[in-house]
Chains A and B, each alone.
Chain A
Amino acid sequence: MNVPAALRYSKTHEWARLEADGTVSVGITDHAQERLGDMVFVELPDIGRKLAAGTECAVVESVKAAADVYAPVCGEVVAANAAVRDAPQSINQDAYASWLFRLKPDDPAELGSLLDARAYAEQAKSEA
């Protein structure tokens, strides 16, 4: 199972990465893309939208399912990844390069409350 140690994770299968500019990139994990199958459509949040942690804000749709994506931390949407919108299959190719949106976090320390790689890997394994 591909769970990079440098990232943080939510129980609902999002990954989060604190970027150098202080924003947080959010995507779905490799485990999630594997379970969902071939991606065909992605719906991304509007830029400027303010999200509370746990808010549904995006949808990923595969040939067999559609799943909501939740904001892992509180913040404002500052970017949405048009490249993934145009080529949803990139999520299957590299889930951690295919960020869906970027948040300007209200409190960067909130990332610390998310799961680390080991905890997420254990959760994912128990669900498998």
Chain B
Amino acid sequence: MPFIPHTGPEVRDMLAAIGVPEIESLFDEIPRELRIEGISGMPAGLPEMTIARLMTERAEADGRYLNFIGAGAYEHHIPAAVWQLATRGEFYSAYTPYQAEASQGTLQALYEFQTMMASLTGLDVSNASLYDGASALAEAVLMAVRSHGKSRRVLMPRTVHPLYRKVVRTITRNQRVEIVELDYSRESGATSVESAAARSGDFAALVIPQPNFFGVLEDADALTDWAHSRGALGIGVVNPLSLALLKPPGEWGAEHAEGADIAVGDGQPFGAPLSGGGPYFGFMCAKQALVRQMPGRIVGRTVDSQGRPGFCLTLQPREQHIRRAKATSNICTNQSLMAIAATIHLALLGPRGLARTAAQCHANTVALRNRLVAIPGVAPVFSGALFHEVALRLPAPVAPVLARLRGERILGGFDLASDYPELADALLVCATETKTGEDIERYARALERTLEKTAPC
């Protein structure tokens, strides 16, 4: 099937018009030794019927598991209308269109997305999405460093998602940004202001995860106030679903409620199904004063020459097609399709539906925790208040327990030991609104059986 819509004669005419004998000659400037003649290792094409069968078999090999893993990506019910609408041809692109204003419907949907995200985070402005939560955090770090002007050091709690910290390091390490990690309290599982205050010198920003990777609620008010008292920005990393119940980043701070300056996160809980690494999407909101430091596309509402309302991409001089090497970012991509799915998802749930979903997730996780700690030897790792995810200590090494549970078609949680060596035998679990009381009981019974078989450590 040809994916280039030009006919042979059209191609010949175009080549003749520019005086080139064949398409290959357009690539002459690439040295011969750097070019590959044909791709090796690619099997020949297969008929549609054969490939459909192959893919079905592969999908079945993945199996159907009862899933209790969260750790940054959460299984939520997605109303059928979300993807029915999002996959309409008018929307079906990962990108903002290049002739943006010709696609008023896409721009309006993204404008609604920005409005929803700004409203959820309690901040002034939102961009039209970023690649994912981890890269959104990296962009927020760079944004804080640009806006601070003096310090290039950023405080990063170890309670931030381990993969986010890795991505931040990868993206910032050649830009003379120093990431200073902050340890957490072994007792509460939260980051203390004292641990931050023990660090001397200037900082451009303090990252504040809420809830943190362990599901524990940080003292976001105190951390925000501390950051501001030191002339640093507060960067919130939030699960957007939690914002239906928790105080939004824009209102953080006990003394003056100045709010976090930037809020980022992964939008996956809104309409994106779990899949191996995505596509998900990142979001970023900020105070108005920082809008010119914000990377990515921003849709604005305006009027045309006849006074009719319309939508346009705005503040484009920050962007790479105009500002080139000095753009706010040259690596920020966006995920328009996922952002539009999120917009539809949020519109279908509404504020009350979202709050009910968040409350149900939390209630299910609490029910799961209460049931599991009734098993001898199982106990919560941390004492801090939590949202919708909890770390539990097992009386046995986690990896073999999880392997046995997989044998019973249960994904039993996330093994914390590889990212947190000090948390041996600790398991991170989560039960979203998709789990029933029977699901929780099935998991608990399977864990009981597994622990009986596994030698205590």
Instruction: Using CB atoms and an 8 Å cutoff, list the residues of chain A in contact with chain B.
Output: 41, 43, 46, 61-66, 68
Contact = CB atoms under 8 A, between A and B. Distances in A.
Interface in B312-366: 317-318, 322-323, 326
Interface of B: 149, 292, 317-318, 322-323, 326
Contacts, number: 17
A66 B149 contact: no
A46 B318 contact: no
B297 to A, nearest CB: 16
17 contacts: A41-B292, A43-B292, A46-B149, A61-B292, A61-B317, A62-B317, A63-B317, A64-B317, A64-B322, A65-B317, A65-B322, A66-B317, A66-B318, A66-B322, A66-B323, A66-B326, A68-B326
Sort A-B residue pairs by CB-CB distance and give the 4 closest, nearest first: A66-B317, A61-B317, A66-B323, A65-B317
A46 B322 CA distance: 25
A121 B323 CA distance: 26
Max count, chain B CB within 10 A of own CB: residue among A43, A62, A66: A66
Contacts of B149: 46
Nearest to B149: A46
Nearest to A61: B317
A62 B326 CA distance: 15
Nearest to A66: B317
A56 to B, nearest CB: 9
Contacts of B317: 61-66
A61 B326 CA distance: 13
Contacts of B318: 66
Contacts of B323: 66
A65 B292 CA distance: 13
Contacts of B292: 41, 43, 61
A12 B293 CA distance: 24
A11 to B, nearest CB: 19
B326 to A, nearest CB: 7
A22 B149 CA distance: 28
A68 B323 CA distance: 10
Given A61-B317, A65-B322, A66-B326, 4 more contacts: A61-B292, A63-B317, A65-B317, A68-B326
Question: Quick one: which of B292, B317, B318, B323 has the most chain A CB within 10 A?
Answer: B317
Give the residue among A61, A62, A63 with the most B Cβ atoms within 10 A: A61
